[in-house]
Amino acid sequence: MNLYLIARIGMLCFVCVGMALAAGEAGGIPQVGQKAPKVDLPSQDGSKIRLSDYQGKWVVLYFYPKDNTPGCTIEAHNFQRDLGKFQEKNAVILGVSVDSTESHQDFCTKQSLTFKLLADTEKVVTTEYGSLRENGMALRNTFLIDPHGKIAKVWTGVKPQEHSEEILAALDELEKK
């Protein structure tokens, strides 16, 4: 009986690992060194934003769950606070959620945000970046894209309070290389 139970548990573990690997390959997170997946989305002002528009600049592409929620507001305020520091480093901030352009416009107005928030209502870009939750909202992940369009650094499960400083420190470190 114990051998049977051990064999069943072993088989279950094998199946779970296999499923996890398959899921990672299907909708995995882009890795450092890879070409960044295409971004072509409307911003809060209705203009189309393409990642290719920022060739020659660092791009902080951050995914967040929902406009006007506590963690997302803290994260956005910190990016806004540090916007000048990012600009000094030739970096732009692009936020992405599955909210509408109208929701983004309201969020930017209420919170005095001046950087672009992109509306991925079709969830295509969020999926491409492995950042879509099962509930249909975005995960809190960030991708630092280098001036040549490659992923330079990836953060998953971001803590909104300290994230802006983390990215600025990473940019400092990458500039030394």
Number of domains observed in the structure of the chain: 2
Please name the residues in contact with 115: beta carbons below 8 A apart, sequence gap of 6 or more.
Answer: 79, 80, 83, 92, 93, 94, 95
Residue 27 pLDDT level (bands cut at 50, 70, 90): low
If asked whether residues 85 and 104 sit together in one domain, one would say: yes
Containing structural domain, residue 24 = 1-28
pTM (predicted TM-score):
0.84
pLDDT tens, position by position, 122-158: 999 999 999 999 999 999 999 999 999 999 999 999 9
Q: Given 13, 16, 72, 108, which residue is catalytic?
A: 72
If asked whether residues 78 and 128 sit together in one domain, one would say: yes
If asked whether residues 73 and 8 sit together in one domain, one would say: no
Active-site residue 72, yes or no? Answer: yes
Residue 9 has pLDDT above 60, yes or no: no
If asked whether residues 36 and 24 sit together in one domain, one would say: no
